[in-house]
Chain A
Amino acid sequence: MNVIPCSIKTLKGLYDISGVEVGQHLYWQIGALQIHAQVLITSWVVIAILLGSVIIAVRNPQTIPSGGQNFFEYVLEFIRDLSKAQIGEEYGPWVPFIGTMFLFIFVSNWSGALLPWKIIQLPHGELAAPTNDINTTVALALPTSVAYFYAGLTKKGLGYFKKYIQPTPILLPINILEDFTKPLSLSFRLFGNILADELVVVVLVSLVPSLVPIPVMFLGLFTSGIQALIFATLAAAYIGESMEGHH
């Protein structure tokens, strides 16, 4: 036990660093069930930001767009291009789904990086990007699964299930497994990236409080955008995949 003197110090350091409140939540009780209040609150803010900016910018569209309308037209073009590239010519009905997915994740991620959530002290847990809670990412990934099933079934009827034995029936287990891995990978990718990004920033800041974390913060912004893009693109790709014809 001659290691104790130094290890106390080390542990104290570790303890300070781990001051990041990982996986701690403010609970609200609704009936017999619990809810992560901090996720709900931040998601409301994100939704308010989205709806507010959209209403202000697109309330009265002008033939020659300017400012906010220009921006949102650009965003819509971007989402349409993305959907069209992944889904094909019948992308129209899926634009709201893909677009909302992209915008919600993007604004959520950036809100975690840009909004000073931590100024608001909660009795327990802390405010952060909604996407750094696994509930949120699963809540986004499951509708994606439902969406591509719906797309395939409406397009091809029960013939959609033929894809499970294509190209050979031997691949049936793998094809079925795919339906589980898709939402799993979608949700865990987003969750892990955002959580890790915020953790890295917080830990770096607690170690070196000035200048050094700044590039990491920019990297975090970049990652956040990329993750939103990946999620939306993959969702569109899954929908497109289940709609395209098998030969």
Chain B
Amino acid sequence: MAAASTFMASTSKPLLSNPHHPPRSLLTTPKTIPAPFRSLIKSISISPRTLVLGAASLVASPLPALASEIEKAALFDFNLTLPAIAIEFLLLMIALDKIYFTPLGKFMDSRDAAIRAQLGEVKDTSEEVKQLEEQAAAVMKAARAEITAALNKMKKETTAELEVKLVEGRKKVERELAEALENLEKQKEDTIKALDSQIAALSNEIVKKVLPQL
């Protein structure tokens, strides 16, 4: 994709023209390579040169420059890159193990263990919680019973007190009523007595007035 971006950016430029780097053949460049290595590379690397040359010979003369410009692809040339990458890989493995796999793995394991332990504790304490709940229920029950008892007692006491007061009040009222009735009776008698005497006087007067003095 990276290739794509640059290619998109520079489609006007012919792709193989390589203005920056003149093409050179693989087999000619490593001049310092000793003969045995050179033969080894030659034997390993698949060279499309023959193929390209064949194609070029088909179209004959007009394209010799092109044919020479197409560089042979050294897809399979093994060299120091292999051990270098292998060593890099091993070093990377050691480094990643030291800073990533082992520490983070240990951290995750210890966290898992801690969480599991906490979960176990929670399971254990659930018994305790149950007992405590029962205790609480018992305490509540007792308290409720106490409260009801106290309430009942208080109710009884107040009713008794009220009854006493009621009886007292009733007696007082009755007494007062009796007194009032007595008073009334007395007044009635007094009035009747007074009326009796007045009747005698009035009858005398009527007699006097009706009957002229004889």
Interface residues of A (CB under 8 A from B): 1, 3-4, 7-8, 11-12, 15-20, 22-25, 27, 29-30, 32-36, 39-40, 43-44, 47, 50-51, 54-55, 58, 61, 63, 69, 72-73, 76-77, 79-80, 95-97, 99-101, 103-104, 112-119, 121-124, 126, 128, 130, 133-136, 138-140, 142-143, 195, 198, 201-202, 205-206, 209-210, 213, 217, 220-221
Contacts and interface: CB of A to CB of B under 8 A. Distances in A.
B96 A50 contact: yes
Interface of B: 1-8, 11, 14-17, 20-21, 24, 26, 29-30, 32-34, 37, 45, 55, 59-60, 62-63, 66, 70-86, 88-90, 92-97, 99-105, 107-108, 111
Contacts of B55: 11
Contacts of B73: 22-24
Choose among A15, A50, A206, A220 the residue with the greatest number of B CB atoms under 10 Å from its CB.
Answer: A15
A123 B76 contact: no
A33 B108 CA distance: 45
A139 B74 contact: no
What does DSSP make chain A's interface, helix, strand, loop or mixed? Answer: helix
B107 A54 contact: no
B7 A99 contact: no
Given A47-B88, A97-B93, A115-B2, 12 more contacts: A11-B66, A18-B70, A23-B75, A24-B74, A27-B29, A32-B33, A33-B80, A36-B81, A136-B82, A205-B3, A205-B4, A217-B1
A124 B24 contact: yes
A123 B20 contact: yes
A55 B104 CA distance: 11
A72 B16 contact: no
A118 B62 contact: no
Contacts of A104: 89, 92
Contact of A72 (B5, B80, B104): B104
A198 B75 CA distance: 14
15 contacts: A40-B81, A54-B99, A69-B104, A72-B100, A76-B105, A76-B108, A126-B3, A128-B3, A130-B85, A140-B89, A143-B86, A202-B3, A202-B4, A209-B8, A210-B8
A206 B55 CA distance: 22
Contact of A16 (B14, B37, B108, B111): B14
B48 to A, nearest CB: 9
A116 B6 contact: yes
A100 B59 contact: no
A167 to B, nearest CB: 34
List the 4 closest A-B pairs by CB distance, nearest first: A19-B15, A23-B73, A135-B81, A19-B16
Contacts of B75: 22-23, 134, 195
Contact of A54 (B15, B74, B86, B100): B100
